[in-house]
């Protein structure tokens, strides 16, 4: 019997006239994710994606990679059968020879409404055959084994397991965004959450080298490589920020520094975002978590950028963010000790309730345009790929319209 991974989606199936676009992107992402693994191909059928397996195909790496594909509700290793009841029954009984169970149920779904039996009738016929052949008990509530049967188009699929997918929308169906990645716990989680909504994420990291070590940049590279499990490749902008911080320290009151730093970061990030063709900025802000994240400060900081500012973690508490960081594999990297630009030149008593007019008056002491342009022009881009055929590269800042990935 031919073997497949049968992939189900949910949210993609609700997309109306745009559904084909989402399905094609999901199929393309699955194909990309399985790079280097021997498979027979990936194709769409009615409401599902099929991954055809070869005799040498290995189950574990395929399942592991499918578990990172946004847009998938579930996926199952399955066998292809004829639809006629007699061969379908015989094939099910053959497969059950390798299963150990005392109770079971049949769960048939009939997507092909021209099939002569409805789902309940098929459940009864197949269930009766199993009882007769194996003398096992039917249990519709808590069976030891569920036998799934999908009747789709001209196909019949048999399977016994459903692995949960991450859900969401396929990456690259919702546009491009630029995420500010600090190296802490929150910002990688924010990037993950926005990827799950179908966005392709470009990253920007602000560092204070040589006033700090290279550790924060190394951490961010590690984080991007983990997040590449979900979008396969990334562009990382490394922005030197120490000169901007020194200007702020020299010409502005100490209590306003954190607000000014973050407004400058947003302006620089926005300039890079426009060159990348990104339509929004993403941060890891969580309301009330630190002094810069009071409602007043978030409003003042956010007003520095004209692009939409997305904060996927804004309503999460720290424990919720940590739990998700552990799940996606970024937590252990994020807690590695380092000194980043956010901890350099920080005042002892930062402003917690900034007012926009007051901050704007303070900013008049700074040559903002020169600071922004110098930071952008001094930035470096690293292209980090998940697979060997996508080598990591370093290049100067791209010019407007030159974003290639």
On average, the pLDDT of the chain sits at: 90
Q: Is the same domain home to 151 and 70?
A: yes
Q: So what's the pLDDT on residue 393? A: 60
Domain-located, residue 108: yes
Query: Residue 78 pLDDT > 60, yes or no?
Result: yes
Domain-located, residue 367: yes
Give the DSSP H or E segment for 76: strand 72-81
Encode pLDDT of 246-303 as tens digits: 999 989 888 888 899 999 999 999 999 999 999 999 999 999 888 778 888 899 999 9
Going by DSSP bridges, is the β-strand pair 200-207/233-240 parallel, antiparallel, or unpaired? parallel
Query: Residue 396 pLDDT > 60, yes or no?
Result: no
Query: Residue 395 pLDDT > 80, yes or no?
Result: no
Of the candidates 346, 373, 348, 188, the one whose C-alpha atom is nearest the C-alpha of residue 260 is: 346
Last residue of a domain, one of 129, 164, 199: 164
For residue 222, give its domain range: 176-396
Domain-located, residue 231: yes
> What is the b/e burial string over 339-363, where b = at least 16 CB atoms within 10 angstroms of the residue's CB?
ebbbebbeeeebbeebeeeebeebb
Q: Whole-prediction pTM value?
A: 0.89
Q: Is the same domain home to 221 and 72?
A: no
What CATH number does the domain containing 31 carry? Answer: 3.30.2130.30
Identify the burial level of 364 via C-beta atoms within 10 angstroms of its C-beta, where 0-12 means exposed, 13-18 middle and 19 or more buried.
Answer: exposed
Distances in Å between the Cα of 20 and the Cα atoms of 25, 29, 306, 333, 393 are 8, 14, 33, 38, 34
Q: Is the same domain home to 71 and 187?
A: no
Q: Is the same domain home to 282 and 388?
A: yes
Domain-located, residue 405: no
CA separation for the pair 23, 360 (Å, rounded): 47
Domain-located, residue 401: no
Q: Is the same domain home to 124 and 10?
A: yes
For residues 354-373, average pLDDT: 88
Query: Residue 193 pLDDT > 90, yes or no?
Result: yes
Q: So what's the pLDDT on residue 291? A: 75
What CATH number does the domain containing 379 carry? Answer: 3.40.50.620
Q: So what's the pLDDT on residue 209? A: 78
CA separation for the pair 284, 287 (Å, rounded): 10
For residues 231-253, average pLDDT: 93
Structural tokens at position 344: 């350099």
Encode pLDDT of 374-386 as tens digits: 999 999 999 999 8
Q: Is the same domain home to 226 and 370?
A: yes
CA separation for the pair 15, 21 (Å, rounded): 9
For residues 89-101, average pLDDT: 96
Q: So what's the pLDDT on residue 390? A: 52
* Range of lowest pLDDT (128-137, 217-226, 358-367): 358-367
pLDDT band at residue 4 under the 50/70/90 scheme: very high
Domains in the chain: how many in total?
Answer: 2
| Helical spans, DSSP H, in 68-149 | 85-96, 119-134
| Helical spans, DSSP H, in 303-352 | 318-328, 331-334
Q: So what's the pLDDT on residue 350? A: 67
Q: So what's the pLDDT on residue 344? A: 55
Last residue of a domain, one of 164, 185, 205: 164
For residues 3-17, average pLDDT: 90
Q: Is the same domain home to 19 and 160?
A: yes
């Amino acid at each position: 019997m031919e073997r497949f991974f049968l992939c189900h989606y949910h949210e993609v199936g609700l997309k109306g006239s745009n559904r084909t676009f989402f399905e094609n992107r999901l199929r393309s992402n699955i194909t990309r994710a399985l790079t280097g693994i021997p498979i027979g191909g990936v194709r769409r059928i009615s409401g599902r994606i099929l991954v055809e397996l070869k005799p040498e195909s290995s189950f574990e790496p395929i399942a592991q990679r499918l578990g990172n594909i946004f847009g998938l509700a579930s996926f199952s290793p399955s066998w292809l059968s004829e639809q006629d009841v007699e061969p379908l029954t015989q094939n099910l009984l053959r497969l059950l020879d390798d299963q150990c169970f005392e109770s079971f149920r049949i769960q048939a779904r009939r997507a092909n409404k021209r099939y002569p039996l409805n789902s309940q009738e098929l459940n009864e016929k197949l269930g009766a055959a199993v009882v007769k052949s194996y003398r096992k008990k039917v249990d519709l509530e808590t069976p030891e084994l569920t036998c799934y049967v999908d009747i789709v188009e001209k196909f019949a699929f048999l399977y016994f397991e459903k692995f949960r997918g991450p859900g969401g929308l396929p990456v690259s169906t919702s546009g491009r965004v630029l995420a500010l990645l600090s190296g802490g716990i929150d910002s990688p989680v924010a990037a993950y959450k926005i990827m799950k909504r179908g966005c392709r994420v470009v990253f920007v990291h602000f560092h204070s080298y040589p006033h700090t070590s290279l550790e924060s940049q190394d951490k961010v590279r590690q984080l991007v490589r983990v997040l590449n499990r979900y979008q396969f490749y990334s562009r990382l902008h490394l922005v030197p920020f120490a000169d901007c911080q020194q200007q702020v320290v020299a010409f502005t009151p100490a209590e306003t520094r954190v607000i000014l730093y973050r407004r400058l970061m947003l302006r620089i990030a926005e300039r890079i975002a426009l060159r990348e063709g990104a339509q929004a900025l993403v941060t890891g802000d969580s309301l009330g978590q630190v002094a810069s994240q009071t409602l007043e400060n978030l409003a003042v900081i956010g007003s520095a950028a004209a692009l939409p500012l997305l904060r996927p973690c804004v309503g999460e508490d720290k424990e919720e963010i940590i739990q998700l960081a552990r799940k996606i594999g970024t937590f252990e990297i994020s807690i590695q000790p380092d000194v980043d630009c956010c901890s350099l030149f920080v005042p002892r008593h930062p402003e917690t309730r900034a007012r926009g007019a007051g901050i704007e008056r303070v900013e008049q002491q700074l040559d903002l345009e020169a600071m922004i342009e110098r930071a952008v022009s001094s930035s470096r881009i690293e292209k980090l790929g998940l697979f060997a055929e996508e080598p990591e590269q370093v290049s100067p800042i791209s010019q407007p319209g030159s974003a290639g990935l």
